[in-house]
């Protein structure tokens, strides 16, 4: 089992460029999440998907879109990147009726110039 | 409005001693609390959790204590080891939501 995988690991964009961060999990979890981590800010939820075909905004959704392509995959899209979106992005998944335990991917470090 | 607060950005302890990491919360609807550990350049990993119906949960060297009346939880690591050096995040969920609310993290350094 690979767990939660994310691509790419690193990315540098210019302001205004677009890109999609990919996430996949092989644990048959229904719930998936996208977070960003900034220095001194902890982990902040961007978007959440409770099941295939459903998505919900988190704490900091502005400037992002998501797609829950199927049960395994949950992608995060930046349509027009801004320097404020420079961050480390983590994808996570969790089982239903669990203890709240979420399994995280290794992260994508994004720099927007 | 920060619902989960970790007021100490950093903590330094000697190998073999106890590490105590603290976390406060404001939302009385939270019914599950978790601690995550994060090494540099890796994703967070689940460490230990506690339900609001308990006041203590132990797993090896790690113990989490919950004081509901004070809305406070703490993570004790005994004995601390250099490999425990990492950032520790406190998280909480409740009110029927599966979403976690994270604190800002505490960086623990265990000195040999």
B43/A92 CB distance under 8 A: yes
pLDDT of residue B47 exceeding 90 = yes
Contacts of A102 in chain B (CB under 8 A): 46, 100
pLDDT at position A98, please?
67
Least confident range from A5-14, A78-87, B76-85, B93-102: namely B93-102
Q: Are B49 and A99 in contact (CB under 8 A)?
A: yes
State the pLDDT confidence band at A69, using cuts at 50, 70 and 90.
confident
> DSSP of B21-52, one letter per residue?
EEEEE--TTEEEEEEEEE-TTS--EEEEEEET
Chain A residue closest in CA terms to B30:
A100
A87 interfacial to chain B (CB closer than 8 Å): no
State the pLDDT confidence band at B9, using cuts at 50, 70 and 90.
very high
Taking Cα atoms as reference points, which of A8, A29, A31 lies closest to residue A78?
A8
Which residues of B touch chain A, with CB atoms under 8 Å apart?
A: 6, 9, 32, 34, 41-46, 49, 51, 89, 91, 93, 98-100, 102-105
Dig out the tokens for B10 from the structure.
């950093």
CA B108 remoteness from chain centre: 11
- The string of pLDDT tens digits covering residues B54-79 is 999 999 999 999 999 999 999 999 99
């Amino acid at each position: 089992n690979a767990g939660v995988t994310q691509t790419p690991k690193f990315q540098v964009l210019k302001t205004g460029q677009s890109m999609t961060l990919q996430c996949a999990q092989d644990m048959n979890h229904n719930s998936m999440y996208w977070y960003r981590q900034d220095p001194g800010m902890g982990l902040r939820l961007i978007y959440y998907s409770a099941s295939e075909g459903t998505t919900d905004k988190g704490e900091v959704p502005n400037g992002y879109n998501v797609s829950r392509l199927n049960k395994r995959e949950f992608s995060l899209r930046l349509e027009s990147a801004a320097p404020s979106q420079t961050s480390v992005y983590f994808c996570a998944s969790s089982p239903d009726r669990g203890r709240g335990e979420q399994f995280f991917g290794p992260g994508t470090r994004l720099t927007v110039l | 409005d920060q619902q989960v607060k970790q007021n100490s950005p950093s903590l330094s302890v000697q190998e073999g001693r106890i590490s105590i990491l603290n976390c406060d919360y404001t939302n009385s609807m939270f019914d599950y609390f978790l601690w995550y550990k994060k090494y540099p350049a890796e994703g967070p990993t689940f460490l230990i959790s506690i339900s609001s119906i308990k006041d203590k949960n132990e797993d090896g060297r790690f113990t989490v204590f919950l004081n509901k009346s004070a809305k406070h939880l703490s993570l004790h690591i005994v004995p601390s080891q250099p490999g425990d050096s990492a950032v520790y995040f406190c998280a909480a969920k409740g009110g029927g939501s599966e979403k976690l609310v994270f604190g800002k993290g505490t960086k623990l350094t265990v000195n040999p």
